[in-house]
Amino acid sequence: MSKDKDLEVKKETAITTHKTARGFEEKTDKEDLILPRATLLQALSPQVVDGAEGCRPGIIINNVTQEVLPEVFVPIFKWTEWIKFNPRDSKAEEFNPAFEPGALIWKTTTPTAEQIKECKFGEAGEKPTALKTLNFLCYFVGVDMPIVLSFAKTSFKSGKLLLSLAQFSGGDMFSQKYALKSKQEEKNGTKYFILEVRKLSKANKEEFAIAESWYENFRGKEIKTHDEGLPEGNEAVEQEGARPY
């Protein structure tokens, strides 16, 4: 088989290795799939608190398999969400008794003016009560499932950097690959980690083919992710650092 033909086969089967396997005869709707998230562990992340093997603050994992993600990734497409969670502290001023602590109150890709306002600091410095999040469907090189990479709070600036680098590189978003790392910062005596991105080089033919197939399969579909909930970690610090919204 020629190299180009081999890439065509990989592109065709990239969405699932079970395409012709028994038990998968019924076509799978993309809306029925739940995709993993790239999760940056903080000191208060459940995996760290529970002492899960190999889990420590600062590492980035697949939150379905709990495996450490490779550093190199290819962003495929971006979408923006505005999200509001109920505070975990029932005594908080913004706590809504109609929802459980930490529960999702609303999420939208078409926010109202009021919802956008809730994601910004007030004129007197009041902290945001909701989040603006930049989400990217990504191919982490060597991982056989799409991963959702989200930037919010103190990592939001890195999300804007990734979008800017991709926007001005020219061509399809998935024609470039990047490195994803974590960086420790400290504020008011509290240490926490943020995401950092760095541009690497052009995606090779195989990386491009896989990313392109996932673009064609998932773009325009509802993206559901595993464990959608209030981000864990040093919330007060992260929310205070959210001014790039």
Model confidence, pTM? 0.82
Pairing of strands 60-62, 131-140: unpaired
Alpha helix (H) ranges present in the chain?
Answer: 3-13, 46-49, 113-118, 156-169, 205-218, 235-240
Most trustworthy range by pLDDT among 7-11, 105-109, 172-176: 172-176
Average pLDDT over residues 165-179: 95
CA 9 to CA 242: how far, in whole Å?
44
User: Whose structure tokens read 């992340």?
Assistant: 45
> What pLDDT, on a 0 to 100 scale, did the predictor assign at position 47?
85
CA 54 to CA 82: how far, in whole Å?
32
**What percentage of the chain reaches a pLDDT higher than 90?**
53
Average pLDDT over residues 175-193: 93
Per-residue HEC secondary structure of 115-134 comes to HHHHCCCCCCCCCCCCEEEE
SS3 at position 127: coil
> What pLDDT, on a 0 to 100 scale, did the predictor assign at position 235?
42
How many residues does this entry show for the chain? 245
CA 125 to CA 88: how far, in whole Å?
22
Q: How many CA atoms lie within 13 A of 137 on its CB side?
A: 24
Residue 203 and residue 174 in contact, taking contact as beta carbons nearer than 8 Å: yes
Structure tokens at 18: 């079970």
Mean pLDDT of the residues in the chain: 84
Model confidence at 227, in pLDDT bands (50, 70, 90)? low
